[in-house]
Chains A and B, each alone.
Chain A
Amino acid sequence: MSDAANRTEPARLSRHLAALGFVLPALLIYGLFVLYPLLTSLWGSLFEWRGLRQLDFSGFDNYLRLFTFPNSEKLFGALWHNVAWFFGIMLFQNGFGLILAYLLFWSRKGASFFQSVFFFPAVLSPVIVGALWRLLLAPNGVVEWMLNGLGLHEGRLTVLGDSGWALWVLIAIDAWNWMGLPVLIFTAGLRQISYEVFEAAKLDGAGSTRMLTTVALPLLVPSISSVTTLSFINTFNQFDIVYVMQGVQGNPNFSTDTLVTYFYRLAFGAEGAVGITDIGLALALGTMLFLLLSVGTLLLLRAFDRATVQP
């Protein structure tokens, strides 16, 4: 800040005080309800717990328990489901979303209509989305009726009760829910690319598929970066759709269990037959997830930052 600018501001100390006064309400609320619980959660993972009471310091005991059978089985099961979810979303939602955005980019007419339709499910509560699809996919539901009518399937449709299928059905529903977001981000990104770049490629004889891979993709790195990072954060926080459609146990037989549903059961008492809480284990799991999310996000952003082409 230059001196000239400073002179026209209110006097120095009172300016600091005024600024502090303005920031204080937000800082208090944010500090009390976000930063404080987050920090005490990380710290608390190093203690022994009984119910909601924090007992003695226990070092990394909770972490050791988390990585020992039978907890480790749940942990790695849920972790694998989250990883599968992320790659499923990258492929079905963001890959297909890129294709939709590219098609919209070339059809000037109606683009905003399609964008609005595609984005609509994203403003719905996951509760509505989950409940709606649970009814549609139930035995006797619309999907069964249509598949039987088309001759693609016979008899009762039970995909949500099938441990081989349920996870992939949930991933598809999540993609249905959020497809509009990559479409919007990618069309916005495509529109920032100068039209002449495409014209030049066209003159060189590139077809629209080759233009997508050789011209658009390298220039879309910032958009790909934000879409990937958002998907990473959202999939590893996945809870709502699983809870509404498959219950907090991630039925059937934990085949749709995610890290956050596992965390919820440990923290609020729905784990095991008796449903008691295990706060120490929950906080250790929460801390691991916190580290995974922060390190993962930073690595993703850095990798994409390096790959960004300066036009």
Chain B
Amino acid sequence: MTPAGFLSRLPRWLVLLGWTVVVLLPLYALVVSCFKTTQQIYADPLGLPQNLSFDNFINAWQRADLGRNLINSLIVTGGAVIVTIVVAAMAAYPLSRYGLKWGVWMLALFLAGIMLPIRLASVELFTLMRDLELLDSHLGLISVYVAIRIPFAIFIFANFMRVLPRELEEAARLDGAGELRILFSIILPVVAPAVSIVAIFTTIAVWNDFFFPLIFIFDNNLKTVPLAITGFVGQFRTDWGMVFASLGISLAPVLAMYLLLARQIREGAAASGAVK
């Protein structure tokens, strides 16, 4: 590269690297603070830790019962993802491929849900959950999350299924395969990218949510990670090392997933934008 070419590119790189620093510096501060005592954080917030002490992690893990919270989050997220994929794929299949007149209206009814501000219905939702005895239960949370994520999942599945060639299921029908088998053993494998988009974005949305656990979960043994962290941060606000460690622990699974799936997540977000 010529010196002139380098100079003309310099401002561009400065802006890009500048924002990279703005994004990464807080996360770096979080990571190094996990290994320091509160006094050390005050004195030198950005320096590397003097020794690799895991005391903060051990304290946070024990006092916040994070193991329990992680398992709760796993149960709720896993349940919501699986049920969402199954029921949304089942609904999207006839709506996108049977060419029924009412299918168009049904699809519109589902897609409207992408924009509905469901939080504003939380009072009536609360009453409903109380009457169904679903308050303070993982099943209740899973039901709400599935209901909220169904519109986005159907949108993605219908878009992918619509363009498949008709011969795909016709051959199987002639062989006498039932519709359920056609859907799950022929159509779904072909739209695997749609399944992964739905799985990834449902996981992110459910794993991170804290609004619905906040209003539906009261038992400490049933709390998910974001709700538990909120309480923990308030309770131990002065023990910074331990609070940072609790944030570190809850961030780790998300970071691991992101490192594995960054490309799919980028492409999915660019195409759909529906992360929240």
Residues of A within 8 A of B (CB): 1, 5-6, 8-10, 15-16, 18-19, 22-23, 25-27, 29-30, 32-38, 40-41, 44, 52, 96, 99-100, 103-104, 106-107, 112, 114-128, 131-136, 140-142, 145-146, 176, 179-181, 184-185, 187-188, 226-227, 230, 233-234, 236-237, 239-240, 243-244, 260, 263, 267-268, 279, 282-283, 286-287, 289-290, 293-294, 297
Contact = CB atoms under 8 A, between A and B. Distances in A.
Contacts of A184: 266, 269-270
A11 B200 CA distance: 37
B7 interface: no
Contacts of A179: 19, 23
Contact of B143 (A5, A6, A33, A187): A33
Contact of B120 (A8, A99, A146, A290): A290
B250 A134 contact: no
Kindly name the residue among B123, B210, B263, B270 whose own CB sees the greatest number of chain A CB atoms within 10 A. B123
Contact of A22 (B22, B30, B179): B179
Contacts of B271: 188
Contact of A29 (B23, B117, B146): B146
Nearest to A142: B45
Contact of B117 (A18, A123, A290): A290
> Interface majority SS on B: helix, strand, loop or mixed?
helix
Given A33-B148, A37-B121, A37-B128, 9 more contacts: A10-B179, A19-B100, A26-B88, A41-B123, A119-B269, A128-B250, A184-B266, A286-B121, A290-B120
12 contacts: A18-B179, A22-B183, A23-B90, A23-B95, A32-B128, A34-B148, A37-B118, A100-B15, A104-B16, A120-B27, A135-B33, A233-B115
Nearest to A40: B124
Contacts of B170: 8
A234 B276 CA distance: 8
B27 to A, nearest CB: 8
Nearest to A114: B16
B76 interface: no
A32 B147 contact: yes
Contacts of A142: 26, 29, 45-46
B275 A122 contact: yes
Contacts of A121: 23
B239 to A, nearest CB: 11
Contact of B99 (A5, A96, A127): A5
B115 A260 contact: no
Contacts of B95: 19, 23
B93 interface: yes
A125 B251 CA distance: 8
B181 interface: no
B35 interface: no
B71 interface: no
Interface string B36-76: 00000010011000000000000000000000000000000
Contacts of B196: none
B168 interface: no
A174 B111 CA distance: 27
Contacts of B244: 135
